[in-house]
């Protein structure tokens, strides 16, 4: 099936053409980051308006790059949620309009389903697998038995890992989104320089908490201000990264023990992080678990990833109704109910 995939849940307008749910014919991502950076974070109203401006050119570019026309499309996969409602509505309305005009099916996909299946665009991953999804809005451990069959093993009880990175960067005076900048500076810093907390490390669950870590960074900076760039700032970034990666790895290890998983997928924007990537390789090497982390281009928000579950749903009779609406929040564990 040739599927057009569309993603507008936050600050990236993205479209892709994917064949058979695996082969990327094109993938276009238009980022609004530079616009939102001036406000220190994503402004929902601006995001919706920018999606409106970009969505048609981005889709046309994806079709051109793939060398296909509207008439070649056999289905549409689009992010239905979670995300900013106004932003989601732009992509969702366009997806429905294309499906109606071309008389082809469309399916509304969970944004995180896209993230956790991104590795399948590069290589096969057999079910079941354990998935750690780390993004700006999510830090979740899922047991994945098949498309649509997800069980949450653990989740953040406050900030997501990406949110913690971005907030810590902001406190240090870096522009939004600072996750990638902290990662870069951490590489020249000493991870043992500053002792930061490891929240919920020994609570016996697979849950996470990152808001206390952000507070600890703030309190450290009040006593020991740092200037950018500089060795002290690099040390703080390295110590912060060490704390985040330590907790992510420890909880993932607990989930591997709990499920006996043979495969681990790490996905979402924070899966670009160099510290996390090497920590996960080390963990999986020791535990004898096969590790799948997508190329950084497929870790951040993109539309191609949505076509993986999208193609499955469309070819297995799970197309969405025309009356379906977007949803700002959506529990992944509830999807299996709709597949009975
Ligand atoms: O998955 P994503 O692109 O969008 C959401 O669905 O949220 O993730 C974006 C998040 C941001 O918080 C960003 O700072 C973080 O991923 N991120 C990183 C890195 N690259 C992106 N965090 C730490 N290290 C990185 N290298
Ligand atoms: Zn995302």
Minimum CA distance residue for ligand 1 atom 20: 180
Model confidence at 340: pLDDT above 90 = no
**Which ligand does the CA of 273 lie closest to?**
1
* % the chain with pLDDT above 70: 100
Ligand 1 centroid to residue 242 C-alpha, Å: 17
What range does the domain containing 108 cover?
A: 2-117+300-338
Tell me, what CATH number does 99's domain have?
3.30.420.40
Q: What is the pLDDT of residues 226-269, one digit of tens each?
A: 999 999 999 999 999 999 999 999 999 999 999 999 999 999 99
* Pocket mutation for ligand 1, best pick of 133, 269, 306, 328 (most atoms within 8 Å of C-beta): 269
The answer on 275 and 131 residing in a single domain is yes
- Ion ligand 2 neighbours (CB, 5 A) are 135, 301
Residue with the two structure tokens 């071309």: 102
Work out the angle at residue 155's Cα, subtended by the Cα atoms of residues 320 and 114, and round it to the nearest 5 degrees: 35
Ligand 1: residues with CB < 6 A are 10, 135-137, 162, 165-166, 177, 179-180, 183, 268-270, 272-273, 300-301
The answer on 270 and 190 residing in a single domain is yes
The answer on 129 and 108 residing in a single domain is no
The answer on 264 and 133 residing in a single domain is yes
Q: How confident is the model at residue 300 (pLDDT cuts 50, 70, 90)?
A: very high
Q: What is the pLDDT of residues 102-148, one digit of tens each?
A: 999 999 999 999 999 999 999 999 999 999 999 999 999 999 999 99
For residues 89-96, give the mean pLDDT: 98
The answer on 250 and 110 residing in a single domain is no
Model confidence at 8: pLDDT above 90 = yes
CB 310 within 8 A of CB 107: yes
Closest C-alpha among 28, 13, 162 to residue 87: 13
Minimum CA distance residue for ligand 1 atom 1: 269
Question: How far is residue 6 from each of residues 112, 213, 243, 309, measured CA to CA in Å?
Answer: 14, 35, 35, 13
* Pocket mutation for ligand 1, best pick of 161, 162, 181, 237 (most atoms within 8 Å of C-beta): 162
The answer on 279 and 142 residing in a single domain is yes
Model confidence at 308: pLDDT above 90 = yes
Cα distance from N-terminal residue to C-terminal residue, the chain: 24
Show which of 277, 293, 309 is a domain's final residue. 293
For residues 154-179, give the mean pLDDT: 96
pLDDT at 138: 94
Model confidence at 339: pLDDT above 90 = no
pLDDT at 16: 99
């Amino acid at each position: 099936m040739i599927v057009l995939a569309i993603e507008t849940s936050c600050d990236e307008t993205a479209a892709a053409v994917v064949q058979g749910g695996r082969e990327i014919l094109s993938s276009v991502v238009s980022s609004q980051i530079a616009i939102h950076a001036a406000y220190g974070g994503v402004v929902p109203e601006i995001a919706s308006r920018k999606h409106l401006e970009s969505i048609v050119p981005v889709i046309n570019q994806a079709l051109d790059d793939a060398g296909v026309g509207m008439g070649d499309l056999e289905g549409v996969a689009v992010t239905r949620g979670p995300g900013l409602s106004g932003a989601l509505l732009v992509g969702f309305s366009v997806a429905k309009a294309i499906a109606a005009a071309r008389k082809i099916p469309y399916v509304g996909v969970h944004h995180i389903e896209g993230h956790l299946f991104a590795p399948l665009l590069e290589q096969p991953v057999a079910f079941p697998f354990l998935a750690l999804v780390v993004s700006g809005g999510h830090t979740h451990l899922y047991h994945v038995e098949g498309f649509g069959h997800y069980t949450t093993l653990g989740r953040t009880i406050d900030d997501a890992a990406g949110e913690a990175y971005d907030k810590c960067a902001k406190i240090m005076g870096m522009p939004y989104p600072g996750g990638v900048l902290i990662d870069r500076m951490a590489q020249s810093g000493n991870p043992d320089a500053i002792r930061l907390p490891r929240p919920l490390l020994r609570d016996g669950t697979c849950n996470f908490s990152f808001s206390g870590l952000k507070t600890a960074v703030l309190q450290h900076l009040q006593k020991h201000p740092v200037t950018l760039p500089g060795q002290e700032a690099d040390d703080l970034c390295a110590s912060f990264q060490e704390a985040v990666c330590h907790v992510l790895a420890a909880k993932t290890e607990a989930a591997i023990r709990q499920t006996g998983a043979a495969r681990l997928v790490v996905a979402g924007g924070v899966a670009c992080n160099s510290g996390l990537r090497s920590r996960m390789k080390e963990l999986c090497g020791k535990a004898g678990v096969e590790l799948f982390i997508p190329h950084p281009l497929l870790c951040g928000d993109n539309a191609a990833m949505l076509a993986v579950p999208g193609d499955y749903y469309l070819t297995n009779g799970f197309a969405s109704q025309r009356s379906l609406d977007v949803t700002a929040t959506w529990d992944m564990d509830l999807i299996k109910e709709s597949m009975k």
